[in-house]
A and B are shown apart, each in its own frame.
Chain A
Amino acid sequence: MSASSPENPGSVADQVLVGTGVATVVTTYLTLVLWRPGGLDALAGPAAALALVGNLTGAVLLLLGTVRRLPTSTLVLIPSAIAVNVVVGQLVAVVGLPLYLDSIGTIAVAVLGGPAAGMATGILANLVWGVTLAPVAVPFSVSAATIGALAGLAARLGAFRRIWLAPLAGLLTGAVAALVSAPVAAFVFGGVTGGGASALVAAFRALGSSLLTATTLQGLLQDPLDKAITFTVAALALSGLPARLWRRFPFARRYATLPTTDRRSRAVSPPR
């Protein structure tokens, strides 16, 4: 593995793993959405097992296919980023904001290390969260991977260079993450994932929505706003970093993902 390559495509085996992982997640999602098992009866059927096994298998394949591509500087950042996710979630409680903001570390890694690094961080963060604090997080690993991958893509396109673009990228990412999370929330947890989200699902159910529709609407109401704010906080926090720190990351250096006052030192090499 070349440590200097910003986006090491990895071996053929890695690419097959990522391709199979994406195919597994997409097939699981389409099966559940097109099949639309009816209401609460879905809790008793194979939909729950499909939602859990399909998403977890996809997440593991994506993780195995991406983690080997990462340079050491990015890999070493991931444990700290996971801890930041958890601790910032607790800081939010200290400050008293009604938000999750539990993916700032994932987004920071994605901005500096790229979509693959963001994806791996998202999956690993949810696994660690699952075995230490909240087991409910494990089945949502694919959503976290989606957030990491889209944050990396947004960074590559320059969304973190201008602060006003970050919330827009967050809104889009949140909407996609909500769609990805909905089948897991519906069929594995019956719409109950704790906190205010469960109350919103119950409200939509009471208004006559199906279980899947209710979890989708709840996600679309909460996630885009949460991710818009998370992206903005991450962009503000990262923009304060000295350039010598973030330029050590090949992806950030190559695509100049963060603002710099020294235009001459920006990376200018075109993407291959």
Chain B
Amino acid sequence: MTARDHHALDLRRRHPVTKLAGVTLVVVMALVVVRWWVLVLVLTAMLALAALQPRPGAVPAPVRTVAAAALPLGLLGGLLQLLVGADPGTAAQLAARLGLLTAAGVLFGLVTPAIDLMTAAAQLHLDPRIGYVLAGAVALLPRMRERARAVVDAQQARGLGLRGGPVRRWRSLVSLTGPLLLAVFVENEERAAALATRGFPGSGRFVPYRSVPFTAVDATACGLIGSALVVVVLLGVLGALG
């Protein structure tokens, strides 16, 4: 494999639209293809693709994250079907389907920064409100986790017990949720005022500050994925995948 090929397979460099097209193809295959071994082959190819992705910083390698999410759910699905008397082929089909659906979603999330998704949405003239909410939620998650930890620590310092009977645990949950919601509303006030001052969402066309390039590699990939999608759907309609 040449360095250029490797560059083409680095999914972080691909446009979000290309990646969404890929996810769509995988989802359609997972739902339309009946032969379990075909689905297992596609799942293996996805894991191989995940293995080719560079590991950003100190986080686990993408292939480990994808495998850790997809394989247990797939195996659980297959085992449960066997337990209720399904034939091994159907159980394997469901296992592979669950694995594929999960792997596609997890890999997309790992290789698509929220800011790229928001920029791509703006480039496609999607309502800026949707882009704001999607990117805002992804960006807020780590901060909210930190805040939740701080609330738990503070309440425990005041004597809140997290163990005991169901009623006590339920009370503890209310004691933790209240301060968390209060902090959200206080922050929300400031953010709403800041956005209103800037005229968000505005009535004109939203021009993103940065851009995500749609390269020739993306165009080629989208063409190939689109063609594959047509073939899979046609074969499915003709019953050739059954």
Which of A148-156, A172-180, A190-198, A260-268 lies at the interface with chain B? A190-198
* CB-contact partner of B112 in A131, A190, A206, A245, under 8 A: A131
Nearest CB in chain B to that of A112: its residue: B185
* CB-contact partner of A127 in B134, B140, B176, under 8 A: B134
Interface residue B5 (Cβ < 8 Å from any Cβ of A): no
**What is the interface residue range for chain A against chain B?**
35 or more
* CB-contact partner of A96 in B73, B86, B169, B174, under 8 A: B169
Question: A-contacting residues of B (Cβ < 8 Å)?
Answer: 27-28, 31-32, 34, 69, 73, 76-77, 80-81, 83-86, 90, 93-94, 97-98, 101-102, 104-106, 108-109, 112, 117, 127, 129-130, 132-134, 136-141, 143-145, 147-148, 152, 162-163, 166, 169-170, 172-174, 176-178, 180-182, 184-189, 191-192, 195-196, 200-201, 242
B94 and A95 contact, CB distance less than 8 A: no
B130 and A241 contact, CB distance less than 8 A: no
Q: Please judge, given known A-B contacts A72-B200, A236-B174, whether A190 and B98 are in contact too, CB under 8 Å.
A: yes
Tell me which residues across on chain A come within 8 A of B86, comparing CB atoms. Answer: 40
Bound CA–CA A188/B136 (angstroms): 29
A136 and B73 contact, CB distance less than 8 A: yes
Q: State the 10 A-B residue pairs at the shortest beta-carbon distance, nearest first.
A: A135-B105, A79-B136, A192-B77, A83-B144, A82-B137, A205-B84, A79-B137, A190-B94, A83-B140, A131-B109
Interface residues in A66-118 (C-beta closer than 8 Å to B):
67-68, 70, 72-73, 75-84, 86-88, 90-92, 94-97, 101, 104, 108
B102 and A135 contact, CB distance less than 8 A: yes
Bound CA–CA A202/B174 (angstroms): 33
Tell me which residues across on chain B come within 8 A of A127, comparing CB atoms. Answer: 134
B137 and A128 contact, CB distance less than 8 A: yes
Interface residue A269 (Cβ < 8 Å from any Cβ of B): no
* CB-contact partner of B184 in A52, A80, A198, A246, under 8 A: A80
Bound CA–CA A173/B165 (angstroms): 27
A48 and B186 contact, CB distance less than 8 A: no
* CB-contact partner of B169 in A87, A95, A138, under 8 A: A95
Q: Please judge, given known A-B contacts A76-B192, A192-B98, whether A229 and B170 are in contact too, CB under 8 Å.
A: yes
Beta-carbon contacts of A226-257 to B below 8 Å, as 1s and 0s?
00010001101110110001101000000000
* CB-contact partner of A88 in B132, B177, B191, under 8 A: B177
Interface residues of chain B: helix, strand, loop or mixed (majority): helix
Bound CA–CA A52/B23 (angstroms): 14
A75 and B182 contact, CB distance less than 8 A: no
Q: Identify 9 residue pairs between A and B in the complex whose beta-carbon atoms are under 8 Å apart, listed by A's number.
A: A75-B129, A77-B185, A82-B133, A91-B152, A97-B173, A120-B133, A233-B170, A237-B177, A238-B181
Tell me which residues across on chain B come within 8 A of A48, comparing CB atoms. Answer: 31
Bound CA–CA A73/B104 (angstroms): 35
B170 and A198 contact, CB distance less than 8 A: no
B133 and A79 contact, CB distance less than 8 A: yes
Q: How far is the CB of B164 from chain A (nearest CB, A)?
A: 9
